[in-house]
Structure 1
Amino acid sequence: MPTPEDPAEEIATEDGAFAAAEAAAAELSTPEQPMGAKGKPLDWRLPFLIGMTAAAGVAVTYGLVQVLAGLQDVLILIGLALFLAIGLEPAVAWLVRRRFPRWLAVTTVFVVGLLAVGGFLTAAIPVLVDQATQFIAKAPGYLHDAQDHATILGQLNERFHLQQQLEGLVSGSAGGLGGGLLGAGQAVFSAITNVLILIVLTVYFVADLPRIRAGGYRLIPNSRRPRAILIGDQIFTKVGGYVLGNLAISVIAGVLTLAWLLIFGVPYAALLAIAVAILDLVPVVGSVIGGVLVSLVALTVSLPVCLATIVFFVIYRLVEDYLLVPKIIGTAVQVPALVTVVAVVLGGALLGVVGALVAIPVAAAVLLLIREVLYPRLDQA
């Protein structure tokens, strides 16, 4: 009957094997190759290795998808901050060309921007509070008119069920916010926090944009790097021109709306003008939504004023599409109208308002890559 080996002999045997391996390792190490010569590579055609590689690839891909889904809100903030930084770069570069140090140019741009926003809010907040108070005071009267079938507002309510839709929207929003002041407070706090994070990220991105640009181009092979620099800089130019141009057009829309509403005595003129300027930042659909909103408020004055306001927004939309956009941002972006509509719809479906805002410059970048990279390769195929 066999007996088990002595444990001491087994340990001695293992120590001897390890000592032999150490001696072999010492012989392999040379000044030219301190870690020794490379061994025979693995045969990746083995079925086991192929299966393990495929399984690992699926697991890593699934993990990355889950990580990206969990970080969606943060990634949107980072992407939007980078987008705004590229948009502000032309102003910073203009100051740098005037012999401003970059840190001073970045500081100047943000200080001027904050002063402009602060001055606007200082002038607008009292008016907005006053108009919001008036609206709250007159809301019962609007509700009574909506229930009176003899008035125009009542007839529209009866035909389109405006009151029921508004009540459903308000109740749904209240439920989505947690139902009550606590949910509204959380939403406001979250919005303020996101805005502050966005501002801080934008400042850092603008300050380090040359380093980010150089680091990104270093990831491209040296043989392709010069052409990549030309194409990438052209994309940056398109994004910068779009951001500044879109902001200028929105300001024009708000100012013209304010003038029109003041002339015809439409209530809540400042509130509506700011709403139109913000909505006009969203391409294609923003100005339409703003026009509908202002026209409904103008209906409280009279039907002729409402019709005149509709005509005003139709004319302004034509002027914006065929005069302002081509003159201000058309030469920089150069995106066909059909591509613009499709890009805005897809961007809005994927990322909401943020997707609609960045859809046009992203479409411009994709068209540039197709024209400069894909088409030449297909023509030579």
Structure 2
Amino acid sequence: MPRWLHRAFLLALALVACFEFAHWVFDRLVGLLVNVLVSFFAAVAIEPAVAWMARRGMRRGLATGLVMLAVAVAGGGFLLAVGSLLVDQVTSIGHNLPADVNKVVVWVNRNFHTDIHTGDLRNKVLHSGWLRSHLLNGAGSVVGISTTVIGTVFRIFTVLLFTFYLAADGPRLRRELCSILPPARQAEALRAWDIAVVKTGGYLYSRALLAVISGVAHYILLQLLGVPFAPALGVWVGLVSQFIPTVGTYLAGALPILIAFTEDPWDALWVLIFVVVYQQFENYLLQPRITARTVEIHPAVAFGSVIAGTALLGVVGALIAIPATATLQGFFAAYVRRYEVTDPRPE
């Protein structure tokens, strides 16, 4: 046997051991890495507001706390509005359920010549083995649900903590990172950081402004038509239509149309017409003016980025997909040289 074979064999074993150890460490730390990634994009998103307040004499820590508090209040308002709408609908369904069941039983007895009694049907459901087994399974899963809720709360606080420190100590963090680079590379690193801040923050702020305008416009219409839950529906339409690409407009408009239809079909028709007309107004007039100074992402690219982010990181990937795409698009626009097309044919 050649003398180098033993060393090659030991080197191969060492490489395999290092790979397995790295894989084990990555599996244990992937949750932390995802939290840091989400925190980075969140810190980049609030950086323009924090920097604006810091330039006017406010300490960065206090400015970061105020911006995060404003975002938390806005998110809590959205959850409260949608939650109140959901709770009211569930309560209404529960209140009307006995009468609806009686109507169904009467219709079945009349059309199929049966003799079903509502009381007998209720007793069979309440004393059935299916309901008993379903309740036992639900009781057994309470511990798992509680563990999931606690883990989610801990993860949210972890993201908030990292976001606060990344935003509050942004300038010092940039200096620490640039200190390990040679002077020739420091300017490029700072430029890349500035592009990420400008494009990500600008995109999110433009979408937030569009969400406010859309929510107010739809709220006014729903209030004039007398559609119930107009404030909650306005918040729903504004946020969902702007922060869910491509299909968000249809998801946002479907709920107010459905609720309006339960009140009056003509109201639902007016809501549908307004949704279509407003979408055209936003696409061709409002959105180009607001996003002219930030970044414009093609709907197909945005939709594809969300699908890719969901496939990679699930719900978290879907949330950070568009900010990441906006940042990458900003990098390409800054570093990729473009040339004028000499093709004389019209588009």
Fold shared by both chains (TM-score > 0.5): yes
Distance across 2 between alignment mates of 1:201 and 1:78: 7
* Paired position in structure 1 for 2:36: 78
Distance across 2 between alignment mates of 1:145 and 1:75: 55
Displacement after TM superposition at 1:132 (Å) = 5.3
Pick one of 198, 201, 206 that aligns with 2:159.
198
Displacement after TM superposition at 1:202 (Å) = 1.9
Distance across 1 between alignment mates of 2:210 and 2:150: 30
Is the alpha carbon distance of 1:218 and 1:127 closer, same or farther for their aligned partners in structure 2, counting shifts above 3 Å?
same
* Paired position in structure 1 for 2:128: none
| Match runs of 1:128-139 below 5 Å | 133-138=91-96
Q: Contact 1:272/1:294 (CA < 8 Å) preserved in 2? A: yes
2:51 matched to 1:93? yes
Is the alpha carbon distance of 1:93 and 1:81 closer, same or farther for their aligned partners in structure 2, counting shifts above 3 Å?
same
Displacement after TM superposition at 1:242 (Å) = 1.9
Distance across 2 between alignment mates of 1:217 and 1:177: 54
Is the alpha carbon distance of 1:327 and 1:182 closer, same or farther for their aligned partners in structure 2, counting shifts above 3 Å?
farther
| Match runs of 1:223-242 below 5 Å | 223-242=184-203
Q: Contact 1:91/1:109 (CA < 8 Å) preserved in 2? A: yes
* Paired position in structure 1 for 2:132: none
Distance across 1 between alignment mates of 2:61 and 2:315: 32
* Paired position in structure 1 for 2:60: 102
Equivalent position amino acid for 2:324 in 1: V
* Paired position in structure 1 for 2:170: 209
* Paired position in structure 2 for 1:333: 295
Is the alpha carbon distance of 1:147 and 1:68 closer, same or farther for their aligned partners in structure 2, counting shifts above 3 Å?
farther
* Paired position in structure 2 for 1:25: none
Q: CA RMSD in A?
A: 4.1
Which range is displaced more, 325-334 or 340-349? 325-334
* Paired position in structure 2 for 1:272: 233
Distance across 2 between alignment mates of 1:146 and 1:270: 34
Determine helix, strand or coil for the equivalent of 2:276. Answer: helix
Q: Contact 2:199/2:330 (CA < 8 Å) preserved in 1? A: no
Residue by residue, what CA displacement relative to the aligned partner does 1:53-78 show, whole Å, maximum 9, x if unpaired?
A: 55544543444344434444433332
Displacement after TM superposition at 1:88 (Å) = 0.9
| Match runs of 1:170-181 below 5 Å | none
**Which structure's relative contact order is higher, taking Cα pairs within 8 Å and 6+ residues apart?**
2
Residue by residue, what CA displacement relative to the aligned partner does 1:82-123 show, whole Å, maximum 9, x if unpaired?
A: 211111111111112112232333344345555666788889
Distance across 2 between alignment mates of 1:122 and 1:260: 21
List runs of 5+ in structure 2 lacking aligned partners. 108-134, 339-347
Distance across 2 between alignment mates of 1:81 and 1:108: 17
Distance across 1 between alignment mates of 2:327 and 2:209: 21
Which range is displaced more, 361-370 or 79-88? 361-370
Q: Contact 1:266/1:297 (CA < 8 Å) preserved in 2? A: yes
Identity of aligned residues (%): 32
Residue by residue, what CA displacement relative to the aligned partner does 1:114-151 show, whole Å, maximum 9, x if unpaired?
A: 566678888998787656534543466678899999xx
Equivalent position amino acid for 1:198 in 2: V
Q: Contact 1:127/1:270 (CA < 8 Å) preserved in 2? A: no
Q: Contact 1:340/1:363 (CA < 8 Å) preserved in 2? A: yes
* Paired position in structure 2 for 1:64: 22
2:263 matched to 1:305? no
2:183 matched to 1:222? yes
Q: Contact 2:295/2:330 (CA < 8 Å) preserved in 1? A: no
Which range is displaced more, 46-55 or 89-98? 46-55
Q: TM (normalized to structure 2)?
A: 0.70
Pick one of 222, 236, 255 that aligns with 1:261.
222
Q: Contact 1:282/1:353 (CA < 8 Å) preserved in 2? A: no
2:305 matched to 1:343? yes
Displacement after TM superposition at 1:375 (Å) = 5.7
Is the alpha carbon distance of 1:297 and 1:231 closer, same or farther for their aligned partners in structure 2, counting shifts above 3 Å?
same
2:246 matched to 1:284? yes
Determine helix, strand or coil for the equivalent of 1:363. Answer: helix
Residue by residue, what CA displacement relative to the aligned partner does 1:222-262 show, whole Å, maximum 9, x if unpaired?
A: 33221232232112211111222223333333333333333
Q: TM (normalized to structure 1)?
A: 0.65
Residue by residue, what CA displacement relative to the aligned partner does 1:298-347 show, whole Å, maximum 9, x if unpaired?
A: 33223333333233323333334344443334532243343223222212
* Paired position in structure 2 for 1:24: none
* Paired position in structure 2 for 1:41: none
Distance across 2 between alignment mates of 1:235 and 1:135: 47
Is the alpha carbon distance of 1:255 and 1:58 closer, same or farther for their aligned partners in structure 2, counting shifts above 3 Å?
farther
Displacement after TM superposition at 1:81 (Å) = 1.9
Displacement after TM superposition at 1:209 (Å) = 1.6
Distance across 1 between alignment mates of 2:137 and 2:208: 31
Which range is displaced more, 331-340 or 205-214? 331-340
Q: Contact 1:347/1:358 (CA < 8 Å) preserved in 2? A: yes
* Paired position in structure 2 for 1:14: none
Distance across 2 between alignment mates of 1:369 and 1:176: 52
Is the alpha carbon distance of 1:365 and 1:109 closer, same or farther for their aligned partners in structure 2, counting shifts above 3 Å?
closer
Is the alpha carbon distance of 1:313 and 1:233 closer, same or farther for their aligned partners in structure 2, counting shifts above 3 Å?
same
List runs of 5+ in structure 1 lacking aligned partners. 1-45, 150-173, 377-381
* Paired position in structure 2 for 1:246: 207
